[in-house]
Amino acid sequence: MREGAKLARRHALELHCSHRRLDASCYVAWSVLRLVVVEDHVATRDALAVSLRLAGFEVVGTFGSGEEVLEALPHSPADLLLLDLGLPGISGHDTIRRLRAIDSTLPILVLTVMESPDAVVGALEAGATGYLLKDTPLLELPAAIEQVRDGLSPLSPAIARHVISTLRARATEDVMDAGLAPRELAVLELLVEGCSYPAIAVELGIGLGTVQTYMKAIYRKLGVRSKAAAAALAVRSNILSRRKQP
């Protein structure tokens, strides 16, 4: 049986069993979010769309390739995009890069079977907000989407280990002269600790818009496109450790 078919079958079975256990509060929490699903396997795509709608999300579009979503996105405003990397035609990584060129702020949550370090780091550096494997239980997917809405970058446990080990092994010289200002470093440090934008604003006593301004400067100076990539680069380069040195 093809991997996609097995995943779709598992999703359908989990969907049948899990949604009977969800109470009414689950359906209200995420009802305002508009989602787009990009997945080439039809059965998996349909199962995800049904699951997300039952969880209270509004699925405003489902697409089978990068080309389709790139053409449709300007006409289908969304709050979050759920993307498989193993797409026909334009690769998932290139799709993320092109989506970032269209909308630099749209959260992109990868949901894929690809777990190699190159695939993971490549997606984060291209601009993915978070990275989940397809063996993630459907009941955990709404919580991951909630994390993205709160400014966090959810990663499957195995993926988090890949990110840390891979990025720590890379060279550190590329950000030695990044030129981050003290306030930008403070924002970056809180981001690495897992703080959301609102939490960073409260901790530093500044407005949410100011945090977003600092993040744009951090992205530009570090040459990254997402919160996850900025945090990962900070870990890899030990830039925050150097900040604390006298």
Q: Give the model confidence (pLDDT) of 125-156 as tens digits.
A: 898 999 999 988 888 899 899 888 877 788 88
Q: Is the pLDDT of residue 11 over 90?
A: no
Report CA Rg, the chain: 18
- Domains in the chain, ordered, with CATH? 3-166 (3.40.50.2300), 173-244 (1.10.10.10)
Please state whether 18 falls in left (phi above 0), alpha (psi between -120 and 50) or beta: alpha
Per-position b or e across 123-147, b if 16+ CB within 10 A of its CB: bbbbbbbbbbbbeeebbebbebbeb
Beta bridge partners of residue 130, listed in sequence order: 109
What is the token pair recorded at 172? 């550190």
Higher per-residue confidence, 26 vs 166: 166
Kindly report, residue by residue over 70-123, the tens digit of the pLDDT: 999 888 789 999 999 999 999 999 999 999 888 888 999 999 999 888 888 889
pLDDT at 46: 95
pLDDT at 151: 78
What is the token pair recorded at 4? 């996609």
Higher per-residue confidence, 173 vs 37: 37
Kindly report the pTM of this predicted structure. 0.64
Q: Is the pLDDT of residue 163 over 90?
A: no
Q: Is the pLDDT of residue 61 over 50?
A: yes
Kindly report, residue by residue over 189-228, the tens digit of the pLDDT: 888 777 888 889 999 999 989 998 998 888 888 877 777 7
Q: Is the pLDDT of residue 17 over 70?
A: no
Q: CB-based contacts of 183: which residues, under 8 Å, 6+ apart? A: 204, 214
**Backbone phi, psi, residue 2, to 5°:** -65, 150
pLDDT band at 238 (very low <50, low <70, confident <90, very high): low
Higher per-residue confidence, 75 vs 59: 59
What is the token pair recorded at 128? 């993915």
pLDDT band at 18 (very low <50, low <70, confident <90, very high): very low
Work out the burial of residue 177: count CB atoms within 10 Å of its CB; fewer than 13 is exposed, 13-18 middle, 19 or more buried: exposed
Kindly report, residue by residue over 23-54, the tens digit of the pLDDT: 433 333 434 699 999 999 999 999 999 999 99
